[in-house]
């Protein structure tokens, strides 16, 4: 899920969806991942020039990504939807000058605990040997694009760019996650917990370890009977509580965390062995899965005097 935070973002999104043709294009791309621009024009019954013009609006709104078709020698391009669910808040408006963004590579964790089945890989190869947690310390881990374990955690030190006199109004963290089963299992629930500075923010139960369909960005060398993609989850903490994809998961508020410009932002993702659904965790980064991203952080902030 993607949440639009400013008036400018909301207007761009709404303009992109203000055409029935563009909505039809988005829905068709969602159902037919990797469709070419040529086939899209034929299906929509319009000229290629019209498809190109409308696709420009969709790509500028960051709704569609266009990639060269693997192995094709002609000019065919493949279209992929970057997100299929969105949230727009009309109750609050945020100044885009009061938001900062960072993207944390999934291999740049500062602490971990991993129990087999487990492993780590970048877009080129496995890092070390699977089911040997020692390779989570390998220097190549900083290049990791996927990691997994049957139980344990990874913790990241997210950047705090707040200046003196500023405090966060809302934190948003998005990441692509799934369970971790031996092999793959579409029905393999796993309770995944999220912490900030050792405070439990909430829990989400992943429904499975998805592998029956290949991930959009998963490299060709990756094994067909291993984790292919996850679900993109948006974790938000604000003055009302903590939410996952817009649904409240705990009463922990941004104020209760006591964050300021001197605070650590230690973010932990955990799959404990003693949870009700102990099904492990897979974390996808750039070059794997369906969303081609690492851990994204948005911090919306204001002046302390305004609080």
Instruction: Please indicate, yes or no, whether residues 44 and 163 belong to a single structural domain of this protein.
Output: no
Nearest to 64 by CA among 288, 262, 292, 237: 292
* Of the residues 62, 88, 114, the one at which a domain ends: 88
Shared domain for 139 and 14, answered yes or no, is no
What pTM, to 2 d.p., does this model score? 0.83
Residue 67 sits in the same domain as residue 136: no
> In terms of residue numbers, what domain contains 134?
96-306
DSSP 105-135: -TT--SEEEEEEEEEEE-SSSBSS-TT-GGG
Question: Do residues 289 and 164 share a domain?
Answer: yes
**Whether pLDDT at 193 is above 50:** yes
Same domain, 160 and 240: yes
Sign of the dihedral through C-alpha 139, 118, 230, 154: negative
Does residue 198 surpass a pLDDT of 90?
A: yes
Same domain, residue pair 158 and 187: yes
Q: How confident is the model at residue 91 (pLDDT cuts 50, 70, 90)?
A: low
46/105 same-domain check: no
CATH code, domain with 76: 1.10.10.10
Overall domain count for the chain: 2
pLDDT attached to residue 306: 46
Handedness of CA 7, 53, 86, 204 (dihedral sign): negative
**For 75-85, what is each residue's pLDDT tens digit?**
578 898 888 87
57 and 142 together in one domain: no
- 48 and 78: one domain? yes
Q: What is the pLDDT of residue 99?
A: 92
pLDDT digits (tens, 9 = 90+) for 212-269: 999 989 999 999 999 999 999 999 999 999 999 989 999 999 999 999 999 999 999 9
Retrieve residue 128's tokens: 């070390």
Domain boundary among 53, 88, 123: 88
107: domain CATH number?
A: 2.60.120.260
User: Domain check: are 147 and 278 in the same one?
Assistant: yes
How does pLDDT run across 119-143, given as a tens digit for each residue?
A: 999 999 999 999 999 999 999 999 9
Same domain, 154 and 293: yes
- List Cα–Cα distances, 240 to 98, 171, 255, in angstroms: 19, 12, 9
Segment 4-31 shows an average pLDDT of 89
- Domain closes at, from 72, 88, 104: 88
Least confident range from 31-45, 125-139, 182-196, 248-262: namely 31-45
What is the rounded distance in angstroms from the CA atom of residue 298 to the CA atom of residue 304? 19
State the pairing for strand pair 281-284/265-271: unpaired
Written as six digits, the tokens of 253 are 């508020």
Contacts of 236 (CB under 8 A, 6+ apart): 3, 170, 171, 172, 173, 242, 243, 244, 246
Mark whether 38 and 118 lie in a shared domain. no
């Amino acid at each position: 899920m993607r949440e639009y935070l400013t008036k400018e973002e909301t207007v761009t999104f709404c303009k992109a969806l203000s055409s029935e043709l563009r909505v039809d294009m988005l829905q068709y791309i969602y159902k037919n991942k990797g469709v070419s621009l040529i086939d899209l024009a034929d299906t929509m019954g319009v000229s290629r020039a019209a498809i190109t013009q409308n696709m420009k609006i969709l790509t500028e709104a960051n709704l569609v990504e266009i990639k060269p078709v693997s192995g094709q020698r002609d000019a065919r391009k493949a279209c992929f939807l970057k997100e299929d669910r969105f949230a727009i808040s009309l109750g609050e408006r945020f100044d885009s000058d009061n938001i900062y963004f960072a993207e944390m590579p999934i291999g740049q964790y500062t602490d971990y605990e991993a129990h087999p089945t487990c492993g780590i890989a970048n877009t080129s190869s496995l890092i070390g040997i699977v089911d040997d947690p020692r390779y989570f310390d390998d220097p190549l881990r900083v290049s990791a694009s996927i990691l997994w374990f049957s139980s344990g955690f990874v913790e990241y030190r997210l950047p705090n760019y707040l200046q003196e006199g500023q405090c966060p109004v809302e934190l948003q963290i998005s990441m692509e996650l799934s369970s971790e089963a031996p092999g793959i299992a579409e029905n393999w629930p796993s309770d995944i917990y999220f912490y900030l500075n050792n405070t439990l923010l909430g829990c989400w139960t992943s429904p499975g370890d998805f592998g029956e369909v290949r991930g959009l960005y998963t490299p060709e060398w990756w094994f067909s009977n291993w984790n292919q993609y996850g679900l993109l989850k948006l974790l938000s903490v604000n003055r009302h509580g903590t939410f996952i994809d817009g649904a409240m998961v705990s009463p922990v508020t941004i104020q209760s965390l006591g964050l300021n410009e001197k605070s650590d932002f230690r973010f932990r993702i955990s799959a404990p062995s003693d949870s009700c659904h102990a099904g492990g965790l897979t974390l996808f980064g750039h070059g794997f899965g369906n969303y081609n991203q690492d851990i994204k952080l948005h911090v919306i902030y204001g002046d302390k005097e305004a609080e």
